[in-house]
C-alpha cells in the first residue's frame, strides 16, 4: 500500500497515514446546518471530503465515514418560529435539497448521516460524564464546559486564550458562566423553543456536543481522520476535542484535515455576507455540475479558491480536451505494433497520478497528470495507435475517475455542458466535419459498428447526417 501523507492541522505538519486498524480508515466530517440550501462554499468542503474518501479507497483502504446533520440550532429555531412550523418540518426540505446537491455533484453517499435531534440521549450521557468528572458545571438552567479544567485546551488551533477572554466578555453575562471562555454544552429551554427532558431540566444541546457524541457512537472514542472547513477549526473542533478527550481520556481523532474557503472577490462565501451561490443558482445560469465539480477540485484543498464564472468556463474547456481525446480514441483504428510508447505513457501517468494524491491529496497535480496523459495519448493517436491502447487508456481513465469523478461525460446524466455561450457548447463545424469524415472512412472500411457509434455521437450533439450518393452531408437539427 502506497504511503499516503496528509497535512495534520494538529501539530501542523505532513504525516504519514497510519490508521488505528490496518487497512480501515474511520472518518468524521462535519456536515451542514440544515436551515437553508447549502452554498457552493459548503459544497467545496463536501467535495474535498468526497475526494479524500475516494482517494483512501483508491489506495486500498476500507472507509467508514459519518457526516452529521445539524438539525437543531439557534438559526433553525428562529427561522422555524418565524415560519410557524416545528423544526422537523422546517429542516425537511433543506435535508432533501442537501442530498440532491450531493448527488448532482456525484458526491458519494457515506455510511452514516446521524442527525442531532436523533441523538439527544447520547449527548446527555456525555454531558453527565463531564459534570461528574468536574469538566462541566451548571449555571442557571444550562451546563457549561469548564475550560480551566482542561490543561491542553487550545492545542489544535494554538489560540491565545487571553484574547478569547477579552473578546467574549460581553457574551459571558448572557449565560452566567464562571469564565468568559467556557462554552455551552446544554442550553436551558426558553419559552416556545424545541426542548428535550434532561437531568438539568428541559433544554437542548449546544452545537459542539453533537459531533462529540455522534462521532463516538459511529466511529468509536478514537478514530482516524476528522475534517471540516477552516472555519470549523476554532472554536468548533477545539471544543469537540475538549469534550471528547476530557470525557474519554483518549485522543478524539489522530489526523485533522481542514479545507480552505471558497471566496467571492476575496471574501468567504457565507450566508451572512449575502454573497452565496447555490448549485441550483449556477445550474439556472446554464453552468454544468460537472464543470463546477472540476473547478472545486482543480485547486489544492488547503488553498483558497476565488469563484468566478470565467473559471467555470475554463473548466468546461479543460473537460472538453478530455472528451475529445476519448472520442478520438474510441474511433481510431489500432494499427501500430510497437507497444513501447504505450507502456511509457501509461507508467508515467500511473506514477504521477498516485504520487500527487498521496502527497496531501494534491488534486491540482493529479489533474495536471491527467492532462499530460491526454496530451501524450493524442500524440500516440497522431503517430498510430498501438494495439491494446484503447482498452488500456480507458481502463486508466476509469480508475482515475473513481477519485475525480469528472472525466467520464456519460456519468453526468442530462448534464449537457456549461456552455453559457455558443462557442463553449456542442461541436464546432470543424469537429463535425472531422467526425463525418471519420464515419465515412469507417463505412468505407465496412466497420459499421464504428460508423454507428460516430453517428450516435453526432446525433447526441444535435447533428443529423444524411448519406447521399456523392458522400455524407450534415446539418444541425
Ligand atoms: P455549516 O453548515 O456552516 O456548518 O458548514 C458546513 C461545512 O461547510 C463546514 O465544514 C464549513 O467549514 C464549510 N464551509 C462553510 N463556508 C465555507 C466556504 N465559504 N468555503 C468552504 N467551506 C465552507
Ligand atoms: Zn462538527
**How confident is the model over 191-226, as pLDDT tens digits?**
889 999 999 999 999 999 999 999 999 999 999 999
pLDDT > 70 fraction of the chain, expressed in percent and rounded:
93
* C-alpha cell read off for 36: 437553508
DSSP notation for 251-272:
-SEEEEEEEPPEEETTEEP-GG
Evaluate: CB of 261 within 6 angstroms of ligand 1: yes
DSSP notation for 47-77:
HHHHHHHHHHHHTT-EEEEEE-BB-SSHHHH
Question: Ligand 2: distance of its center to the CA of 230 in Å?
Answer: 12
Return the ligand number nearest the Cα of 236. Answer: 2
Question: Ligand 2: distance of its center to the CA of 148 in Å?
Answer: 22
What does DSSP say about strands 223-229 and 24-29: parallel, antiparallel, or unpaired?
parallel
Evaluate: CB of 94 within 6 angstroms of ligand 1: no
Evaluate: CB of 438 within 6 angstroms of ligand 1: no
What value does the mean pLDDT take over residues 1-17?
94
* Mean pLDDT (the chain, rounded): 91
Confidence band for 415, pLDDT divided at 50, 70 and 90:
low
Q: What pLDDT is stored for residue 422 in this prediction?
A: 33
Neighbours of 382 (CB within 10 A): 10
Q: Whose CA is nearest to atom 8 of ligand 1?
A: 42
Evaluate: CB of 41 within 6 angstroms of ligand 1: yes
Q: Residue 173 pLDDT > 70, yes or no?
A: no
Which of 27, 45, 226, 300 to mutate to test ligand 1, by most ligand atoms within 8 A of the CB atom? 45
Q: What pLDDT is stored for residue 419 in this prediction?
A: 43
pLDDT tens digits for range 39-54: 999 999 999 999 999 9
Q: If you count them, how many residues does the chain have?
A: 477
Question: Ligand 2: distance of its center to the CA of 60 in Å?
Answer: 27
pLDDT tens digits for range 70-97: 999 999 999 999 999 999 999 999 999 9
The number of the ligand 1 atom at minimal distance from the alpha carbon of 38 is 2
Q: Whose CA is nearest to atom 15 of ligand 1?
A: 42
Return the ligand number nearest the Cα of 33. Answer: 1
* C-alpha cell read off for 210: 453533537
Q: What pLDDT is stored for residue 156 in this prediction?
A: 97
Evaluate: CB of 270 within 6 angstroms of ligand 1: yes
Q: Whose CA is nearest to atom 14 of ligand 1?
A: 42
pLDDT tens digits for range 130-160: 999 999 999 989 999 999 999 999 999 998 8
Q: Are 7 and 14 in contact (CB under 8 A)?
A: yes
Q: What pLDDT is stored for residue 429 in this prediction?
A: 74
Confidence band for 4, pLDDT divided at 50, 70 and 90:
very high
Question: Ligand 1: distance of its center to the CA of 375 in Å?
Answer: 36
Q: What pLDDT is stored for residue 59 in this prediction?
A: 97
pLDDT tens digits for range 294-340: 999 999 999 999 999 999 999 999 999 999 999 999 999 988 778 89
Evaluate: CB of 262 within 6 angstroms of ligand 1: yes
Q: Whose CA is nearest to atom 5 of ligand 1?
A: 32
Strand order across the 223-229 sheet: 62-67, 24-29, 223-229, 253-259
Question: Ligand 2: distance of its center to the CA of 232 in Å?
Answer: 7
The number of the ligand 1 atom at minimal distance from the alpha carbon of 228 is 10
Q: What pLDDT is stored for residue 288 in this prediction?
A: 97
Q: Whose CA is nearest to atom 12 of ligand 1?
A: 229
pLDDT tens digits for range 237-284: 999 999 999 999 999 999 999 999 999 988 999 888 889 999 999 999
Q: Residue 343 pLDDT > 50, yes or no?
A: yes
Q: What pLDDT is stored for residue 421 in this prediction?
A: 36
Q: Residue 229 pLDDT > 60, yes or no?
A: yes
Confidence band for 162, pLDDT divided at 50, 70 and 90:
confident
What does DSSP say about strands 267-268 and 262-264: parallel, antiparallel, or unpaired?
antiparallel
- In this structure, what DSSP letter does residue 428 have? -
- In this structure, what DSSP letter does residue 461 have? T
Evaluate: CB of 268 within 6 angstroms of ligand 1: yes
Cα→Cα distances 384→9, 29, 324, 331, Å: 49, 47, 17, 12
pLDDT > 90 fraction of the chain, expressed in percent and rounded:
76
The number of the ligand 1 atom at minimal distance from the alpha carbon of 30 is 10
Return the ligand number nearest the Cα of 67. Answer: 2
Question: Ligand 2: distance of its center to the CA of 30 in Å?
Answer: 4
Question: Ligand 2: distance of its center to the CA of 208 in Å?
Answer: 6
Amino acid at each position: 500500500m502506497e504511503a499516503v501523507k496528509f497535512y495534520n492541522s494538529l501539530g501542523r505538519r505532513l504525516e504519514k497515514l497510519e490508521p488505528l486498524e490496518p487497512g480501515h480508515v474511520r472518518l468524521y466530517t462535519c456536515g451542514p446546518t440544515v436551515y437553508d440550501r447549502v452554498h457552493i462554499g459548503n459544497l467545496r468542503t463536501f467535495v474535498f471530503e468526497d475526494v479524500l474518501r475516494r482517494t483512501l479507497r483508491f489506495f486500498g483502504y476500507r472507509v467508514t465515514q459519518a457526516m452529521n446533520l445539524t438539525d437543531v440550532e439557534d438559526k433553525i429555531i428562529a427561522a422555524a418560529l418565524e415560519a410557524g412550523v416545528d423544526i422537523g418540518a422546517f429542516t425537511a426540505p433543506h435535508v432533501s435539497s442537501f442530498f440532491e446537491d450531493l448527488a448532482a455533484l456525484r458526491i458519494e453517499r457515506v455510511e452514516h448521516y446521524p442527525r442531532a435531534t436523533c441523538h439527544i440521549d447520547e449527548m446527555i450521557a456525555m454531558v453527565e460524564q463531564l459534570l461528574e468528572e468536574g469538566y462541566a458545571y451548571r449555571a442557571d438552567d444550562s451546563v457549561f464546559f469548564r475550560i480551566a479544567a482542561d490543561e491542553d485546551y487550545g492545542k489544535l488551533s494554538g489560540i491565545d486564550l487571553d484574547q478569547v477572554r477579552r473578546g467574549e466578555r460581553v457574551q459571558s453575562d448572557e449565560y452566567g458562566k464562571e469564565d468568559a471562555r467556557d462554552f455551552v454544552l446544554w442550553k436551558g429551554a426558553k419559552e416556545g423553543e424545541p426542548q428535550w427532558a434532561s437531568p438539568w431540566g428541559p433544554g437542548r444541546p449546544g452545537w459542539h456536543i453533537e459531533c462529540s457524541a455522534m462521532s463516538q457512537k459511529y466511529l468509536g472514542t478514537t478514530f482516524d481522520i476528522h475534517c471540516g472547513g477552516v472555519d470549523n477549526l476554532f472554536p468548533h473542533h477545539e471544543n469537540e476535542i475538549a469534550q471528547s478527550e476530557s470525557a474519554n481520556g483518549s485522543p478524539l481523532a489522530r489526523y485533522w484535515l481542514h479545507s480552505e474557503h471558497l471566496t467571492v472577490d476575496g471574501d468567504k462565501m457565507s450566508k451572512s455576507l449575502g454573497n452565496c451561490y447555490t448549485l441550483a443558482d449556477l445550474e439556472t445560469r446554464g453552468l454544468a455540475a460537472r464543470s463546477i465539480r472540476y473547478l472545486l477540485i482543480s485547486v489544492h484543498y488547503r488553498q483558497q479558491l476565488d469563484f468566478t464564472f470565467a473559471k467555470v468556463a475554463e473548466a468546461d474547456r479543460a473537460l472538453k480536451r478530455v472528451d475529445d481525446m476519448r472520442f478520438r480514441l474510441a474511433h481510431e483504428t489500432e494499427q501500430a505494433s510497437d507497444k513501447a510508447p504505450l507502456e511509457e505513457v501509461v507508467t508515467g501517468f500511473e506514477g504521477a497520478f498516485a504520487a500527487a494524491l498521496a502527497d496531501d491529496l494534491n488534486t491540482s497535480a493529479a489533474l495536471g497528470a491527467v492532462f499530460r496523459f491526454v496530451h501524450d495519448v493524442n500524440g500516440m493517436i497522431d503517430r498510430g495507435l498501438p494495439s491494446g491502447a484503447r482498452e488500456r487508456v480507458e481502463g486508466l481513465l476509469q480508475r482515475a475517475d473513481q477519485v475525480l469523478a469528472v472525466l467520464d461525460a456519460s456519468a453526468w446524466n442530462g448534464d449537457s455542458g456549461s456552455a453559457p455561450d455558443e462557442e463553449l457548447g456542442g461541436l464546432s463545424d470543424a469537429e463535425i466535419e472531422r467526425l463525418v469524415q471519420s464515419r465515412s472512412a469507417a463505412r468505407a472500411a465496412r466497420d459499421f459498428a464504428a460508423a454507428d457509434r460516430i453517428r450516435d455521437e453526432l446525433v447526441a450533439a444535435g447533428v443529423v447526417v444524411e448519406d447521399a450518393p456523392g458522400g455524407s452531408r450534415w446539418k444541425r437539427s
